[in-house]
Amino acid sequence: MKLEKQDEQLIFSNTNLPDVFFTEYFSQASGNAIKVYLYLVFLSKYDKDVRLNDLSKKLELPLNIVQESLKYWESEGIIIRKGSGYELLDLQKIELNKLYKPKVTISPEDMKKTEKNQRRAKAIESINNNCFQGVMSPSWYGDIDMWFSKYGFDEEVMDALFTYCFNKSALHRNYVQAVAEAWATNNIKTFSDLDKYYQKQEKLEKFYKTISKKLGLSRGLTQYEQAYIEKWTIDYNYQMDVIELALKRTTSKSNPSFDYLDKIISDWHERNLKTSQDVLKYLDEMKKRNIEIKDFNKKPAYNSYEQRSDIDYSSLYANNQNSIDGK
């Protein structure tokens, strides 16, 4: 019986994986993609020729899953297709290049330990400890520095940004970048700006729930429906008592739309009606006017001129009613 040397080495050998893999790639990849990558790292030590079908069988994964996993790691830039095979790149060199490029543009003034830099260092330390358990990848430092410059956030906002994403279990670059863009679009620079933004969002959420409940909607509101509510509450500065008056005017509708509600509320806004009292007064005036028109139309015509009058009071009433209803 012959024992092969390779098998003997295999028992005592190790497969090394840089910590960078866990800080930069692990949380964002699927379980199957991680499974494929780890096995490729293991096989790469032995310069093995591996067929995709064999890999599929060995890992007990469908062939298309193996192919999708390889495409994913290609898109992440840590493996490269070469001819009929793949080359696994050095993760530590990749991260070193990321760190080196932004550093070459730092001016001597940026290197000074000013009060501003000390505040930033404290904020980054807080982010590292609270969101990364003290093992934040070095590449995050370059991103944070770039976001400070791009968005003009103060240190408290940057700390709040990472805390928000951490609490959402979405601490990866694309998500952090998307939230940062949203905050910048809403002119958030300081923690005071962020606090006002949160108050506005909290107010909107209450309006979303209240209006949905009053309309008997069991589904969530669409983006366009939320935009209508934002216009009524933020742009028009209407409170719920005014909006509720509009909601009550939909009781005769089997399936009232937000477009219908918007016409009513926008009509009130154009008439400079600011409060529920203003709206009720306007509706009362319109009701009295309509009664007067009805009474006038009931009077007998005393001459041919009145019978041939070009004024259509019924139509006028309808128009007034439509104006009330926002049609």
- Per-residue pLDDT reduced to its tens digit, 90-137: 777 777 666 555 444 445 555 444 556 778 888 888 999 999 988 888
d(CA 88, CA 37): 9
Nearby residues of 236 by Cβ (< 8 Å), 6 or more positions away: 265, 266, 269
- Per-residue pLDDT reduced to its tens digit, 20-76: 788 778 877 889 988 888 888 887 777 666 778 888 888 888 989 888 888 888 888
Tokens of 280: 């009720």
- Residue 18 CB coordination number (10 Å): 14
The number of C-alpha atoms within 13 Å of 234 and in the hemisphere containing its C-beta is 16
Query: Confidence class of residue 153 from pLDDT cuts 50, 70 and 90?
Result: very high
CA 78 to chain centroid, in Å, comes to: 28
d(CA 278, CA 119): 51
Question: Residue 178: what pLDDT?
Answer: 93
* Structural domains of the chain sorted by starting position, each given as residue range(s) with its CATH number in brackets: 5-92 (1.10.10.10), 106-189 (1.10.10), 214-325 (no CATH)
- Per-residue pLDDT reduced to its tens digit, 260-296: 899 999 999 999 999 999 999 998 888 888 776 666 6
Tokens of 168: 């959402």
Question: Residue 319: what pLDDT?
Answer: 41
